[in-house]
Amino acid sequence: MPIELRDLAQLPPSIENMAFSKIRVERLPEEEATRFFRGLYEAALLSHDDGDWSRVDAYLGEWERDLVSRVNPNAISFDSSPWTAFQKPLSEARIALVTTGGSYVRDAQEPYMDDDPSYRVIPSTTPTSDLAIFHEHYDKSNAEKDVNVIFPIERLREMEGEQQIGSIAANSFGFMGYIIGDNIPRLMEETAPEVARMLLEEDVDAALIGTT
């Protein structure tokens, strides 16, 4: 029985929230979906022969960037990233925690909305049992069992107790990391710089980003 292209393109439920799901092949015209699978097959065969599977990763990355740019023409990419060498010993450094996983303080703060560029100031002494999550664009099942998956504050407390880091900043910061369209400039020009200023005011040496 031949495999239909639409069946090949349909993601099983177990992986539909993974990064690969950004390449929603079943939504492509048949000709383009065929081109995608031919290219993927070729990349997989070449990688199998020489053992270099980064070729497949690069191929999927190219398609993902292309398809995301179609859905969100305001998506921003950079040719380079600023780099600041870390000079202070980690055992003397003040570390802040920033998450894009949608964490906020239950009953004390408003949940995020979808496509929300705002942030939440989360006191770093907040018990993890008081933290909640709002985010509709990743599989939250593990984070709901243990918020340290996206907001590893308890791991930082352990590192502080063992003097692996100097101290934890008084405040941590939460974002809801699915931001598109007109809210991208607001994030870059308003809310992210506000958080950066607060980190500087608190003499933070580095920020640990709990991403999704």
Residues 49 and 124 in one domain: no
- pLDDT at residue 14, as a whole number: 52
DSSP letter, residue 189: I
Residues 189 and 162 in one domain: yes
* Structural domains of the chain, count: 2
- pLDDT at residue 71, as a whole number: 65
- pLDDT at residue 185, as a whole number: 86
- pLDDT at residue 19, as a whole number: 45
CA dihedral of residues 20, 21, 22, 25 (deg, nearest 10)? 100
Q: Which residues contact 29 (CB under 8 A, 6 or more apart)?
A: none
Residues 10 and 63 in one domain: yes
Instruction: Give domain status of residue 21, yes or no.
Output: yes
Pick out the chain residues at pLDDT < 50.
1, 3, 15-20
- pLDDT at residue 30, as a whole number: 82
Residues 108 and 190 in one domain: yes
Distance CA 188, CA 198 (A): 15
Residues 114 and 21 in one domain: no
- pLDDT at residue 118, as a whole number: 96
Instruction: Give domain status of residue 150, yes or no.
Output: yes
- pLDDT at residue 15, as a whole number: 47
Instruction: Give domain status of residue 80, yes or no.
Output: no
Phi, psi of 85 (to 5 degrees): -65, 140
* Domain residue limits at 183: 90-210
- pLDDT at residue 2, as a whole number: 54
pTM, two decimal places: 0.67
Give the SS3 label for residue 172: strand
Distance CA 59, CA 117 (A): 30
